[in-house]
Structures are given as C-alpha cells and as structure tokens.
Amino acid sequence: MRRMVLAALLLGLGPASAGETVALPTVDNANTRYSALDQITSDNVGRLTVAWTYSTGVLRGHEGAPLVVGHIMYVHTPFPNTVTALDLDQNGKILWRYAPRQEAGVVAVMCCDTVHRGLAYQDGRVFLQLADTTVVALDAETGRVLWSVRNGDPAKGETNTAAVLPVRDRVIVGLSGGEYGARCHVTAYDQATGRRLWRAYATGPDAEMLVDPDKTTELGRPIGRDSSLKSWDGEQWKTGGGCAWGWFSYDPDLNLVYYGTGNPSTWNPAQRPGDNRWAMAIVARDADTGVAKWVYQMTPHDQWDYDGVNEMILTEQAVDGRKRRLLTHFDRNGFGYTLDRETGELLVAEKFDPSVNWAKRIELDRASPAYGRPVVDERYAPGVTGEDETVTGICPGALGAKNQQPAAYSPRTGLFYVPTNHMCMDYEPFHVTYTRGQPYVGATLTLHPPPGTDRTGAFIAWDNLAGRIRWSIPEPFSVWSGALATAGGVVFYGTLEGYLKAVDAETGRELYRFKTPSGIVGNVTTYRHRGRQYVAVLSGIGGWAGIGLAAGLTDSAEGSGAVGGYAALSHYTAAGGQLTVFGLPEP
C-alpha cells in the first residue's frame, strides 16, 4: 500500500505536499522546487541551527540534492557516483552504500567537472545514470542492483551528469557530449526491466527524431519534412550535439515530457551554416510513444554556446483572465520564456539579466516571418566576424545568464526565484576537425564581469507574465545553487562562497545565512521527519564556475575561461564534500 500511495504522489503535478517524501531532486515533476512545508517561516528562520552533517568522501562539485523517502535519506556524489542510504531514525546511520566501478578514463571526457545532479525514486526503486552513461535501478531498501543498461559510449565522448525522471512505468534519461560531437538523444527505459521503450535524437531524419512532419509543430505551424536535415550542411547533423543534459519535467494530464537540448557541435558557427535544428530547443514529447508534439528553437544557429537545457517549470496561471497551462524557462541566452505548454505558443520572452546584449529582443509579432526568433545584434555575433577573430564584450558569457542550477516557483507569491550569472565573454572561433572521442569545440573564450562592476551574480524574483524582475539581490559570484521556495514564505539558495541563505519570498530581505565548509553548487531541499521540518544542502565547490578549485586548475584559460573568470573565489572557499542539515531548536 505504501508503494501505491507514493506512486500516486509522484504522478501528480505541482508542489510536493508529502513532507516525508522528497523523491526527486526537483522536488516535484513540474520542477517547481516548491515545498508545502511551513514549520520554518519568515518569522523563525533566523533561529535555524545545524542539526547534523555527513561527509560524502568526495572532493568535487556537489550538484543536485538528496532524496528522502520515509525514514531513509539517499545521498549521491560526483564521480564515482556513490549512493548512500542514511537512516534518519538512527542519527544518519549508514544502511547501505552502492559504489559503482567505472573506468577512470571517463573523467577525461566529462565537460565542466565530474558533477552528478542526483537520484530519483519511484515504487521501491532508486534510479540514476552514471557518468559512463550506465542507467541503474537499485532496490531502495537494500541497495541491490536490480538492472543496469548502457545508454551511450564514452569512447565517443558520450557521458552523463544529469538526473533521470521516472514517468509512469518508465524512466526518462538524457546524455552529455556536445563538446565531443556526440549525436545526442533522449531515451525511455522500462522501470521494471531496463528494456528500451523509445529513443529520440535531437538531429537527423524525422523517424530517428520521433517527429511527425505534419503534426509536430513549432509556434503553431507544422515543422515539415526533413526539418533537421535541411538546416545542416551535408551530414554535419551526425556530429551535431543537441544533448539533453539538464532537467526533465512532466505533465500527467497531457502526458507530455518537457526538456531542452544543448549546443550544436562545434562552437565555431562558421563550420555549421544553417539553423542547426533541433539543437537549442524546448521539446514536448508524448511519454508513451516519444513522438514530439511541439518544439521551439530558442537560439537558431547558436554562436555563443547557449545550451537550452535549463529546467522547464510547469504552472497553471491566469493569463488575460483565463487559466492556462504554462511552461516557464530561463535560458542560458539570458531570456526568460513563458509558453503555453499544451500548444507551444510563445507568450513572453524578455531579458532577465540587464547586461544581455547578444540579441536586442525576441520577435513576438505573430505576423512576422521571424516570429519567435532572436533579433541578433551583429556586433556580438562571432559568426559575422569569422574564424580567428575575437568578438569582445558578449553578454552573457558561454556559461549563460543562468546555467543548469534550477529556479523555484511559489504559488503563494506567483513569482519565480532565479539563481543567475552576471558574466560576459570574449569569444574567438577557430576551425576544428572532428575526431571520434576527442574535443570538438572550435573556440576559445575568456569570461569577465560586465563593464562597470566586479560582481558576477544575482538572485532575482521574476514575474513570468509581465516579463520583469520584481527584486534582485546582487552577489559577488554567480549563484550556482538551486533555489527552494516554501509555504513558510521563505526562499533558500546557496552561494559559491559557501553560504546557505534564506530570504523573504515577498521582498527578498535576507533572513538568515550560514557558512558551510565549501562552496554550494547543490540544490537546497527540505523535508519533514518525526514532525520536524529540516533544510538540507550539499556543499562542495565545482561545476563550470568552480572547476578551478575542484580540479586544481591554475591557467586562467582553462575551464573554458572559468578559471580566470572566478579566480577570486579561492580567497573564500576550498574543495569539499559535505551534506549539512538544518532545523529549528527543539521546543
């Protein structure tokens, strides 16, 4: 019976209400990262103290968040992707540990640190995809491997950093490898057996992308036959990237899975003329068949590495007096998009960081043939100046105005709480030749703050209907932590220096801060155990922004410019790997 109840909760859309169960790193399958727990409020959050801690034993970037199911907490690590079950009834006693064996060579082909964004639970099973792309199902009570299947090939540069998403009787998984010319796909596996149910590529023939030329639409129009093939030069689509290495969301009423695709390969736009479909796109797929209902390409012919993989947040809100099913997405390109998630209609597209300059706006005139496309400022377009020429002052930088660190939504305020980057770049593309399993990048870049400031981040509240910032908290470094909104009127996030912060959901006023042992690139979560609400976060500097400290890099050009761009971070934190759990003092 307990498994049936939990399965029903997971199939529901929207804010999590079962405080003893946090079965997804996104809190719910709508990616709202909102908790209905309200014991910790804006009035008492300042009294939080550390309840207990746990060392993961790994010193790399700790992204994602732990899961809590009943009295068991499941904690993951970066490579080698260890999973540990902790008994909350026994002060975090270790119940079991899963320590997979992976070839060390996988690390060499992982882009932007050895991070892993977490686990997923459904019906007595814990699911994850390892760095070497092996998808694994574990028995939640014992840690025993129930099944495993290889989803990609690291010898071709295919790896994984993302969490998976259980949907009905299947589990949805993505892939990384755009910097190696991988031709990426999204795949559904049977939860009970690991049998592949469908696979959809981001580029190539219609049948392999699982699109219907007449029924799959973009902005209300059928995409037509060979929509991807016609947008690439020759057979470049075979090394075209478009990797879904970010987050998945799911609407059970529409039975649609939503996700974004990443950069086209290579980073040198001169080598791949055309729109390069369907890289840099939002995709809505039928969970049963995998067939795409609609797609929307945000950055056609990407010239900046603005991967479109950030989370799709699903809400129901009133638009012009009528309740609509919405999808809100904060793209790396610096625009916040609001769409009707049933039809793919574009409703809002506005800049959520004031420094964004690569495009003047997104064309919102439905009568225009350029409807939905960015109006590019050619002063900041590397494809215009050509190879071996440096374009300076492009904003945002390649790591985006926001990277994969997920935002949160509160139905109490109707606002989105967004961790952002305030970083620009200088970009020089160069010719590169594809070699299987070798980097296929074709550009060098440096990262730096916008003119007139030395800060590189902000935490903002966003109105997705008006397309504007309601309030903003400047931060000295990019905010690389996932946000959490709660029914207590509190929003939590972490900083690269290592602070867990709590702010008022209405005003952004800081209510609490605590310095953890290392920089926070994990996602804040909350749960209830034995009647008490707790807040938990992983700290361990890393990810693209923290790669210098995580990997011991010192050359400012390394980490695609991140080592130089975040050099000052070494004065505030160091490598680590710890879970810190907070609670109010016992009455």
Cα 220 versus chain centre, distance: 27
Q: What are phi and psi of 126, to 5 degrees?
A: -105, 125
Closest CA to 517 of 537, 503, 535, 502: 537
- Report the pLDDT value the prediction gives residue 4, as an integer from 0 to 100: 35
The per-residue pLDDT for 17 is: 44
Q: Is 530 exposed, middle or buried (0-12, 13-18, 19+ CB in 10 A)?
A: exposed
Choose the weakest-confidence range: 283-287, 392-396, 560-564: 560-564
Quick one: DSSP state of residue 405? S
Report residue 292 as tokens: 């795409």
Distance CA 139, CA 133 (A): 19
CA distance 332 to 401: 5
Best CA proximity match to 237, nearest among 280, 287, 181: 181
Quickly state the pLDDT bin for 557 (edges 50, 70, 90): confident
Q: Which listed residue (305, 307, 331, 353) is catalytic?
A: 305
Distance in angstroms (rounded) separating the CA atoms of residues 66 and 68: 7
Task: Please determine, for residue 12, whether its predicted confidence score (pLDDT) is greater than 70.
Answer: no
Q: What are phi and psi of 437, to 5 degrees?
A: 80, 5
Length, in residues, of the chain: 587
pLDDT digits (tens, 9 = 90+) for 15-72: 444 467 999 999 999 999 999 999 999 999 999 999 999 999 999 999 999 999 999 9
Tell me the torsion sign for CA atoms 321, 323, 325, 329: positive
| Closest C-alpha among 111, 68, 105, 108 to residue 87 | 68
Per-residue confidence at 104, pLDDT binned at 50, 70, 90? confident
Strand partners, 351: 335
Residues in contact with 338: Cβ distance below 8 Å, sequence separation at least 6, in sequence order: 326, 327, 328, 346, 347, 348, 349, 464, 465, 467
In contact, 48 and 584? CB cutoff 8 Å: yes
Q: How far apart are CA 299 and CA 261, in angstroms?
A: 11
CA distance 292 to 156: 26
Pairing of strands 578-583, 532-539: antiparallel
233 a catalytic residue = no
Residue 579 has what pLDDT? 98
Phi, psi of 98 (to 5 degrees): -105, 120
Q: What is the pLDDT of residues 464-499, one digit of tens each?
A: 999 999 999 999 999 999 999 999 999 999 999 999
The arithmetic mean of pLDDT across residues 190-218, rounded, is 98
Which residue is listed with tokens 């939990």?
A: 6
> How far is Cα of residue 558 from the mean position of the Cα atoms in its chain?
23
Structural domain of 58: 2-583
Do 120 and 23 touch, CB atoms closer than 8 A? yes
Dump pLDDT digits (tens) for 69-82. 999 999 999 999 99
| 563: phi then psi, degrees, rounded to nearest 5 | -60, -45
Contact 136, 569 (CB under 8 A): no
First to last CA, the chain: 34
CB proximity list for 33: less than 8 A, separation 6 or greater: 26, 27, 406, 407, 408, 409, 482, 483, 484, 485, 523
DSSP category for residue 523:
B
Q: What is the mean pLDDT of the chain?
A: 95
Q: Does residue 136 carry a pLDDT above 50?
A: yes
Beta-sheet pairing, 335-340 with 346-351 = antiparallel
pLDDT recorded at residue 82: 98
Asked if residue 94 has pLDDT above 90, the reply is: yes
Number of domains in the chain: 1
| pLDDT tens string 434-470 | 999 999 999 999 999 999 999 999 999 999 999 999 9
User: Which pLDDT belongs to residue 237?
Assistant: 98
Q: Are 500 and 516 in contact (CB under 8 A)?
A: yes
- Which of 267, 319, 275, 313 has its CA nearest to residue 296? 275
Compute the distance between CA of residue 524 and CA of residue 516 in angstroms, rounded to an integer.
Answer: 13
Question: How many angstroms separate the Cα of 70 from the Cα of each of 40, 74, 86, 121?
Answer: 20, 11, 11, 12
Which CATH number characterizes residue 420's domain? 2.140.10.10
Question: Would the pLDDT of 3 be above 70?
Answer: no
Strand order in the sheet with 83-87: 21-22, 67-69, 72-76, 83-87, 93-98
pLDDT (0 to 100) of residue 33: 98
Strand, coil or helix: what is 9? helix
Q: Residue 102: its pLDDT value, please? A: 93
The predicted-structure confidence for 258-281, as pLDDT tens digits, reads as follows 999 999 999 999 999 999 999 999
14: pLDDT strictly greater than 60? no
Confirm if 347 and 332 have CB atoms less than 8 A apart. Answer: no
